[in-house]
Amino acid sequence: MTVNGTKHNELRQLVRSQLELLLESSNLEGAKALLVPVQPVDIAEAIEGLPESMQVIAFRLLSKAEAIEVYEYLDYSVQEALIEEFKRQEVIDIVDKMSPDDRAKLFDELPAKIVRRLLSQLSPKERQATAQLLGYEEDTAGRIMTPEYISLKESLTVDETLERIRSLANASEIIYYLYVTDASRHLTGIVSLRDLVVSPSQTTLGEIMTRDVVFVHTNTDQEEVAKTIQRYDLLAIPVVDREDRLVGVVTVDDVIDIIEQEATEDIYALGGLQSDKDNYFQTSLVTVARRRVVWLFVLLLTNTVTGTIISSQKNLLQEVVILTAFIPLLTGTGGNVGAQSSTVVIRGLNTEEINDLGTGKVVFREALAGILLGSILGIMATVWAFWLQGNIYVALSVGISLVAIALLASVAGSALPFLFRSFGLDPALMSAPFITTAVDVLGVLIYFNIARFILGI
Amino acid sequence: MTVNGTKHNELRQLVRSQLELLLESSNLEGAKALLVPVQPVDIAEAIEGLPESMQVIAFRLLSKAEAIEVYEYLDYSVQEALIEEFKRQEVIDIVDKMSPDDRAKLFDELPAKIVRRLLSQLSPKERQATAQLLGYEEDTAGRIMTPEYISLKESLTVDETLERIRSLANASEIIYYLYVTDASRHLTGIVSLRDLVVSPSQTTLGEIMTRDVVFVHTNTDQEEVAKTIQRYDLLAIPVVDREDRLVGVVTVDDVIDIIEQEATEDIYALGGLQSDKDNYFQTSLVTVARRRVVWLFVLLLTNTVTGTIISSQKNLLQEVVILTAFIPLLTGTGGNVGAQSSTVVIRGLNTEEINDLGTGKVVFREALAGILLGSILGIMATVWAFWLQGNIYVALSVGISLVAIALLASVAGSALPFLFRSFGLDPALMSAPFITTAVDVLGVLIYFNIARFILGI
């Protein structure tokens, strides 16, 4: 079955509902036939959608090779459930054949007891590969790499290499790049399968390899790995250890997931949320509340400061009660201007678009934008305030405050992410909710002082 | 030079400063030697960092093959400047050899006059390829695909295929997948270079090709293309026209940029900004202000509603002026709770994590989270309000209002993105600034009514 990308959602849903119907009527042959032309990732999704009791039955319909591929795509919870349902030997067969990086990810999620049991039953080679990956810190190149790659000596000819590949190919997740190493396993060059195929058969790898190799270390942060692959348009990047010996490869498909995950982290930070690698919609309500309440509490505290400032101006407000009507407009607009500036700067820092401009230049530019926007909006606000109230002094206080607040908000919004970064913190922490709340506090202070001055109170 | 990912920033900076020094002292040979081991994308960045007068000189140091690669990585503004500096023939040589998808991107940015001139001077084959790409709508598969791929008949043997590849390889951006087509150019199967290399030499493509091909149409949205490549872990995806004939290929490196660009769009929407494909930090201040002011103005209008509501409660506020002190706390916290809910739902919709849950389930869950968070924060706020004011009725009004507002905010924040999507709009439009401002309006209404009830005014 060819799958048209635009229609794959509907197709997937069709496979899912059909599969359940066939299994309910115990038509196992029909179910088997249904799944034959379906892509592994889609089979995995269809199985996830089944009632738990049917998941094992559906999974057993697959051929062994297919089962391994599908298993890698399943959610951790389903992977774990299947492990418990399976006979010992079935589990080991599948887990033993998974790619080491996918297996390490699975082991991260499984209870320690099961991991120990599985590890002890893997073949020695696979056990060693997995233990090695699990030894690297989370979110590093070492943890996400696969230790399966093809490394060759540079004296090999093209023909000999092709021979080797034929005997090895099944063991290796990616063979689009071949790595050339010296006697002490140091990476000395790289040959793409493409270069290999187009070269005369007696040429040696040493003659056709590229010596300008881009690589990362096992302890390189995964975000850095992703950026490097993206920058150099690679399909995979070699990973070396502290002694510069080749130990693994990170492939582009894993990198795409990392880029999406990092973007989610940024987006969550901008929304005032702690992020986590779990699917948000599968975590418990208590976890959700716990992750949010800390941030809300910090913002609540800042808001109490605003309240305290307002309550300290009781006399002013009793005299000119209409002043309160404009507080939400001023703090709200200030917050929005600040959120815009901080969003632009945070994203710019994280995608490295901003790198070449200095802090000063960026903040100055945002300050100008703040004054410009503040002036436009200030004029509108003055007109509206005058229409609502008929008091030109109050209206002017509102308009002038708005310009000052917009300037303050854009400077704070653009400067604070830089400040955070210079302390080695994630600039996204200095995000919209925080800026908004900070601008509230300073905004009312500015407003009351300008109003007192203009109204002469 | 091997480039360690973690250190590439420093290296790039070094190359840049060295290059400028060498060019200033007219040491062209030295500059040439400096650039030999540097990756094309890094050379492009070094050239971008040079004063304009030196950019052409630096570019001329490159070999022709290198020049083409480097040119593709340059910013549009530098590409355009170089076109104007160059002699006619130099330009045509480079532009003619660019990959058609990169050339189409360049032509999108260049003034129409230059595009016409360049188009007319390209070789007929390249002209046709470019014109074809430019004919597809922006942000579709047709626009981002490369028309260079290898398509073969299924009767070909492995050996014959390898022969063909050797003669074609330079013309094709990617040869990791070979496409098998029938007499009317319909896509019938796919053979990876890997499968080809490991197969016996007399096998035909028909025997080894995969018939389950995932493809997209020329008018498929680029975001959908990216998601499909990501879902199926592909290195490239074939693009077919309305008659299902193969017309091009989208490669994974372009997809990574699209994923980042789409994430930026989401993040900008969440920050209340219109996004654009330009680098934000290179657009003019007026453009920046124009893109932001519309959104700010809409939010300002909503804020004036809040103000009008407050001003309509003049009597209440004159009587119990301290009530105003808690307005920022209530609207601020409500806005933050709403922002969290909308952020989670918007990101969930855009990454398709949320797909299988219904609207009702998600909103219900967020409502529960809202009540839970509102209760925790409401108790804190009541205590603080009592401490600040000593009036238990006012304190209770604040606490109870906070629970109601948090519930409202979480329901609005989670439901509105679904509503927007069901109208076919981007859910990210219903983002934090909008929710925040909407919650302001309803929040003060709730607060005043609860206060009137409890205080008996």
Percent pLDDT > 90 in chain B is 23
Q: Which of A193, A310, A432 sits opposite B194 (nearest CB)?
A: A193
Residues B155, B133 share a domain: no
Percent pLDDT > 70 in chain B is 93
Residues B118, B217 share a domain: no
Residues B433, B285 share a domain: yes
In a domain, A267, yes or no: no
Does residue B217 have a pLDDT over 90? yes
Residues A289, A244 share a domain: no
In a domain, A50, yes or no: yes
Q: Which of A139, A162, A194 is where one domain is finished? A: A139
A136-178: pLDDT as tens digits: 888 889 888 888 888 899 999 998 998 888 877 565 556 788 9
Lowest model confidence (mean pLDDT) among A166-170, A345-349, B323-327, B345-349: A166-170
* Phi and psi at residue B9, to the nearest 5°: -60, -50
Chain A partners of B444 at a C-beta cutoff of 8 Å?
328
User: A76-114 in b/e burial notation, b at 16+ Cβ within 10 A?
Assistant: eebbbebbebbeeebbbebbbbbbbbbbbbbbeebeeeb
Does residue A363 have a pLDDT over 60? yes
Residues A155, A132 share a domain: no
In a domain, A274, yes or no: no
Q: Number of folded domains in chain B?
A: 3
Q: Which residues share a beta bridge with A70?
A: none
The CATH number linked to A344 is 1.10.357.20
**Closest residue of A to B342, CA-based?**
A271
The pLDDT of B132-138, averaged and rounded, is 81
Of A260, A258, A229, A263, nearest to A105 (Cα)?
Answer: A258
Task: Give me the pLDDT at residue A65, please.
Answer: 79
Residues A185, A126 share a domain: no
A266 touches chain B (CB under 8 A): yes
The CATH number linked to A120 is 1.25.60.10
Q: What is the largest CA-CA distance in chain A?
A: 95
CB B165 within 8 A of CB B150: yes
Of A243, A219, A215, nearest to A229 (Cα)?
Answer: A215
Task: Give me the pLDDT at residue B6, please.
Answer: 45
Does residue A382 have a pLDDT over 90? yes
Task: Give me the pLDDT at residue B20, please.
Answer: 85
Task: Give me the pLDDT at residue A90, please.
Answer: 73
Residues B306, B249 share a domain: no
Task: Give me the pLDDT at residue A7, please.
Answer: 55
First-to-last C-alpha distance (Å) of chain B: 79
How far apart (Å, rounded) are the C-alpha atoms in residues B159 and B168? 14
Range of the domain at B204: 151-261
**Contact yes or no for B440 and A4 at CB 8 A:** no
Residues B296, B240 share a domain: no
pLDDT classification of B83: cutoffs 50, 70, 90: confident
The pLDDT of A331-347, averaged and rounded, is 88
* Phi and psi at residue B217, to the nearest 5°: -95, 160
Does residue B109 have a pLDDT over 80? no
Task: Give me the pLDDT at residue B410, please.
Answer: 93
CB neighbours of B54 closer than 8 A, spacing ≥ 6?
A: B20, B23, B24
How far apart (Å, rounded) are the C-alpha atoms in residues B2 and A231? 15
Task: Give me the pLDDT at residue B2, please.
Answer: 45
Q: Which of B89, B113, B139 is where one domain is finished? A: B139
Structure tokens at A159: 């023909």
Dihedral in degrees, nearest 10, Cα atoms A42, A44, A49, A55: 140
CB neighbours of A36 closer than 8 A, spacing ≥ 6?
A: none
Lowest model confidence (mean pLDDT) among A158-162, A271-275, A414-418, A435-439: A271-275
pLDDT classification of B355: cutoffs 50, 70, 90: low
Does residue B119 have a pLDDT over 70? yes
Does residue A74 have a pLDDT over 70? yes
The CATH number linked to B220 is 3.10.580.10
- Scan residues 348-377 of B and list those with Cβ closer than 8 Å to A: 348, 351, 353-357, 362, 365, 368-369, 372-373, 376-377
Q: How many CB atoms lie within 10 A of CB B53?
A: 9
State the amino acid at position B442 in one-letter form: L
A261-302: pLDDT as tens digits: 888 888 887 777 776 655 666 677 777 788 788 878 888 888
**Contact yes or no for A229 and B256 at CB 8 A:** yes
> Within 13 Å, how many C-alpha atoms sit on residue B143's CB side?
17
- For A204, the 3-state DSSP assignment is strand
Does residue B125 have a pLDDT over 50? yes
Lowest model confidence (mean pLDDT) among B10-24, B176-190, B337-351: B10-24
Residues B419, B368 share a domain: yes
Task: Give me the pLDDT at residue A279, please.
Answer: 64
* Phi and psi at residue B266, to the nearest 5°: -60, -45
In a domain, B407, yes or no: yes
Task: Give me the pLDDT at residue A6, please.
Answer: 45
In a domain, B392, yes or no: yes
Task: Give me the pLDDT at residue B454, please.
Answer: 92
* Phi and psi at residue B386, to the nearest 5°: -65, -40
Residues B167, B124 share a domain: no
ipTM of the complex: 0.77
pLDDT classification of A377: cutoffs 50, 70, 90: very high
In a domain, A273, yes or no: no
How far apart (Å, rounded) are the C-alpha atoms in residues B92 and B121? 7
How far apart (Å, rounded) are the C-alpha atoms in residues A329 and B222? 39
**Contact yes or no for A296 and B440 at CB 8 A:** no
A220-254: pLDDT as tens digits: 999 899 989 988 888 899 999 988 899 999 989 88
In a domain, A268, yes or no: no
**Contact yes or no for B339 and A432 at CB 8 A:** yes
How far apart (Å, rounded) are the C-alpha atoms in residues A380 and B381? 34
**Contact yes or no for A440 and B8 at CB 8 A:** no
A23-73: pLDDT as tens digits: 888 888 888 888 888 888 888 888 888 888 888 888 888 888 788 888 888
Q: Which of A84, A119, A139 is where one domain is finished? A: A139
pTM for the predicted model, two decimal places: 0.77
The pLDDT of B209-228, averaged and rounded, is 90
In the DSSP assignment, the letter for residue B192 is: E
Structure tokens at B179: 């496409």
In a domain, B145, yes or no: no
Task: Give me the pLDDT at residue A117, please.
Answer: 78
Residues A301, A448 share a domain: yes
Residues B413, B299 share a domain: yes
**Contact yes or no for A343 and B268 at CB 8 A:** yes
The pLDDT of B312-336, averaged and rounded, is 87
Of all helices (H) and strands (E), which one includes residue A442? helix A432-455
